[in-house]
């Protein structure tokens, strides 16, 4: 059942040599949403038999492996079983469940990750990829798992589109992943920004890895065209970020009078040139989360508080509407057969995208002189940048009634741990920050963006709510003639508050049982 580890080790050695012992990145920031880890300041430098960080501090070999990676607690396990995983079809490339990855440097790293987990746990993974991302596929996926839980208990673990587990958890279909023998939530492969928002009453029912390819590539950012910046004699966003001047007011000033009727048809359309272009899909949420909006927060005692009805939400919507109030900025559905083209064809000075942009340009042989910056702050008083992760990254969870909960939890920990030591260095350090980057300064910006991750309890529970705040907010921005936030909130307020209280009550009831 076990696969040979020799080829894997040779592959990993070659990867390690190619990375030239590069520095590791972790999801960390200075505030209470993310906690700085030791590895933010370390490299895997080895002097003889002594391993040190870049400052010469000796690393404890009990805590770090020979390559300078933080160890997990999974050594010596052998579950000896076939391990069945219900997985999202749309996530299969980044999960390594398709042969399309073979021969691709990132795909091979993901494959090696999976094989190493099999070897370390003594399991053979059997993937069952099912559609889970669009429309009715989401409902069908959840029903498939619920039916299995009630009848056969054939799945040992599930990994899917990240918004699916939460309504199932509220129905009592998922195991609590906090406080078990194998999942260590203090390790760097679990983003503390996510845990600080989603871990509640010592309960968490799905986990998002900080080192998964899909997690890394789905971080929101503002891309800018350096050639257009020069044409308009504008300041570099790099300098603005450094001087705490990168905010919405500054962005609006920079895009002023940048609209050009490129096709000279006398109409404003998506064939023209704009100062700013943003899609109306899920990435639109990145604007208001980037300006510090929270739909759910914590009070001083750690209790959840619904803040979707606070005045700041309406105020930020007005700021965004003002940003898009002239022809210099446009909202476009860039998923309708023109993905990224507004930017890659040089017709947008600024463009909201995810970190996947670099991979897209490289894979399609697009040569573009671009830079990247975090989402702009609301104003200079905002304490930090916020990076929203749109909702198409994978979440890992365990259905109730699994044959061996220890094996399932060790599997989740192993997949994240091995992604941290195998996938993240290849994809994030080598590809995103080096191979895909046309500008040597992008690496620092990517690290800042990654260190600024934010999550929102209301957002990840949106499929549990019968009225979804996020969709209403996005409608108010994309269709201001039809939707106003004051009236929209008035329509959904009672339902949203009721759903929120029901969610909290379920958590409280579960906590009382423990």
DSSP, collapsed to helix, strand or coil, labels residue 224 as strand
Query: Which residues are CB-neighbours of 327 under 8 A, at least 6 positions away?
Result: 259, 268, 274
Radius of gyration of the chain (CA): 23
| Confidence band, pLDDT 50/70/90 cuts, at residue 40 | very low
Residue 73 — pLDDT band, cuts 50, 70, 90? very high
pLDDT at 8 over 60: no
pLDDT at 219 over 70: yes
Q: What is the mean pLDDT of the chain?
A: 88
Whole-Å CA distances, 360 to 69, 109, 190, 213, 215: 29, 19, 26, 14, 16
Contact 144, 84 (CB under 8 A): no
pLDDT of amino acid 334: 59
Mean pLDDT of 424-436: 94
Secondary structure element (H or E) that encloses residue 221, with its range? strand 220-225
Mean pLDDT of 465-477: 93
C-beta pairs of 434-439 under 8 Å, 24+ apart in sequence: 435/362, 436/358, 436/359, 436/361, 436/362, 437/358, 438/367, 438/368, 438/369, 438/370, 439/226, 439/369, 439/370, 439/371
Residue 339 φ then ψ, to 5°: -55, 125
What is the rounded CA–CA span in Å between residue 409 and residue 417? 12
Position 155 scores a pLDDT of 98
Reduced to 3 states, what is the DSSP secondary structure of residue 443? helix
- For residues 388 and 195, give the distance between their C-alpha atoms in angstroms, rounded to a whole number: 15
Count, residues in the chain: 514
At residue 4, the pLDDT reads: 39
What does the pLDDT average to over 236-252?
A: 97
- pLDDT above 70 coverage of the chain, percent: 89
Distances (CA, A) of 405 to 66, 151, 174, 182, 408: 30, 18, 11, 10, 5
Q: Is the pLDDT of residue 43 over 60?
A: no
Q: What is the pLDDT at residue 246? A: 98
161-190 pLDDT tens trace: 999 999 999 999 999 999 899 999 999 999
Residue 166 CB neighbour total at 10 angstroms: 23
Whole-number pLDDT of residue 44: 44
Q: Is the pTM of this model over 0.85?
A: yes
When pLDDT is averaged across residues 8-22 and rounded to a whole number, the result is: 40
Q: Could you report the per-residue pLDDT of 353-377, keeping only the tens digit for each?
A: 999 999 999 999 999 999 999 999 9
List, in order, residues 6 or more apart from 189 with CB less than 8 Å away: 209, 210, 211, 416, 417, 419, 420
Quick one: average pLDDT of 368-393? 93
Q: What is the pLDDT averaged over residues 219-239?
A: 96
């Amino acid at each position: 059942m076990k696969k040979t580890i020799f080829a894997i080790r040779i592959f990993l050695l070659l990867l390690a040599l190619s990375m030239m012992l590069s520095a590791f990145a972790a999801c960390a920031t200075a505030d209470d949403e993310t906690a700085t880890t030791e590895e933010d300041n370390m490299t895997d430098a080895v002097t003889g038999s002594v391993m040190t960080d870049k400052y010469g501090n000796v690393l404890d070999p009990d805590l770090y492996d020979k390559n300078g990676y933080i160890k997990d607690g999974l050594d010596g396990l052998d579950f000896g079983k076939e391990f069945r995983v219900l997985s999202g079809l749309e996530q299969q490339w980044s999960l390594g469940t398709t042969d399309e990855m073979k021969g691709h440097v990132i795909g091979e790293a993901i494959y090696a990750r999976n094989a190493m987990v099999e070897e370390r746990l003594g399991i053979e993974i059997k993937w069952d990829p099912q559609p889970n991302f669009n429309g009715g596929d989401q409902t069908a996926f959840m029903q498939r798992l619920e039916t299995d839980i009630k009848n056969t208990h054939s799945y040992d673990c599930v990994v899917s589109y990240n918004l699916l587990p939460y309504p199932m958890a509220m129905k009592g279909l998922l195991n609590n992943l906090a406080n078990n023998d194998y999942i260590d939530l203090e390790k760097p492969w679990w983003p503390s920004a996510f845990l600080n928002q989603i871990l509640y009453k010592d309960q968490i029912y799905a986990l998002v890895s900080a080192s998964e390819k899909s997690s890394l590539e789905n971080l929101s950012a503002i891309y800018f065209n350096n050639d257009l910046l020069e044409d308009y004699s504008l300041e570099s966003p790099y300098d603005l970020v450094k001087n705490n001047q990168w905010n919405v007011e500054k962005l609006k000033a920079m895009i002023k009078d940048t609209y050009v009727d490129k096709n000279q048809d006398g109409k404003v359309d998506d064939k023209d040139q704009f100062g700013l272009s943003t899609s109306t899909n899920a990435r639109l949420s990145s604007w208001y989360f980037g300006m510090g909006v929270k739909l759910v927060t914590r009070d001083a005692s750690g209790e959840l508080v619904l803040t979707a009805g606070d005045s700041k939400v309406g105020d930020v919507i007005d700021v965004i509407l003002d940003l898009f109030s002239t022809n210099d900025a446009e909202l476009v559905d860039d998923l309708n057969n023109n993905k990224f083209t507004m930017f890659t064809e040089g017709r947008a000075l600024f463009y909201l995208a995810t970190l996947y942009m670099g991979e897209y340009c490289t894979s399609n042989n697009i040569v573009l002189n671009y830079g990247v910056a975090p989402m702009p702050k609301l104003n200079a008083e905002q304490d930090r940048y916020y990076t929203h992760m749109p909702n198409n990254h994978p979440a890992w969870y365990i259905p109730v009634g699994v044959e061996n909960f220890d094996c399932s939890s060790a599997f989740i920990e192993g997949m994240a741990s091995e992604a941290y030591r195998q996938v993240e260095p290849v994809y994030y350090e080598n590809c995103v920050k080096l191979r895909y980057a046309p500008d040597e300064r992008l690496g620092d910006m990517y690290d800042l963006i990654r260190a600024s991750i934010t999550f929102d309890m209301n957002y990840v529970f949106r499929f549990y709510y019968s009225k979804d705040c996020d969709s209403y907010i996005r409608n108010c921005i994309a269709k201001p003639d039809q939707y106003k936030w004051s009236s929209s909130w008035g329509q959904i307020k009672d339902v949203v508050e009721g759903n929120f209280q029901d969610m909290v009550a379920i958590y409280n009831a579960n906590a009382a049982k423990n």
